[in-house]
A = this chain, B = another copy of it.
Amino acid sequence: MSTVDPASAPDAATASAPLGRSERIHAAVLDAAEQVFLRDGYVGASMDEVARLAGASKQTVYKHFGSKEQLFVELVTAMTEATGDPLGHETTDASADPGRDLAALAVAMLDAVLTPRILRLRRLVIGEANRFPELGRALYEHGPARAMAGVERRLSAWVEAGALPEHDVRTSAQHYNWLVMGAPLNAAMLLGDEAIPSPAERRAHAKAAVAALLGSIGAPPLVE
């Protein structure tokens, strides 16, 4: 018997297990690719530098990812799918206080997106939207589209429960999304990371946005 006790788990259920060499390298290459692509863009990035930064040989990088293009697409889709996921857009937990819930959701959305890493990803995808249209679409679906669908679902639930007046929930969901995200997101796109608002600014911005939305649908204003 080996001293290693290989019987720990023959199944694939071992998530945070020690991780084989191959998986470790795979992850290291993705890490390195993230740094290089987010810094230099797709064309400006060098596969030599990715390999160097990953502590791997170019040969290994190509064995794992096939080509620069495949590595790029794999990286961006992974980051895209991992971003909006933990935001609970799929729930329908309509509480009795729409204003409070909407404000909390707004802050959560801002926190998820207003990160240097995610902003650089977004700049990268927008800049390469000509070359990789499918990446733009993926980011749109996982970002704004999903958020608006989730908000629309919540608004419908509140209307049904009598907590909000009847109104065009689809339009309101869109208005909410851009009242919240429009200004900070576009400022950060063009002005760089130093335009990222502080947590206090985010809370104030979210509160103003929710107040405007509630006013626009004829709902009673946010209670303090």
A-to-B contact residues, CB < 8 Å: 39, 41, 43-44, 120, 123-130, 133, 136-137, 139-140, 143-144, 168, 171-172, 174-175, 177-179, 181-183, 185-187, 189-192, 208-209, 211-213, 215-218
| Majority secondary structure, A binding face | helix
Contact A129 B215 (CB under 8 A): no
Q: Identify the closest chain B residue to A218 (Cβ).
A: B215
The 10 closest A-B pairs by CB, nearest first: A127-B127, A178-B182, A182-B182, A212-B216, A215-B216, A140-B190, A136-B190, A43-B43, A216-B216, A43-B44
Judge whether B192 and A136 touch: CB under 8 Å: yes
**Identical copies in the complex:** 2
Closest to A208 in B: B171
Contact of A190 with B125 at beta-carbon distance under 8 Å, contacts A130-B120, A182-B178, A216-B212 already known: yes
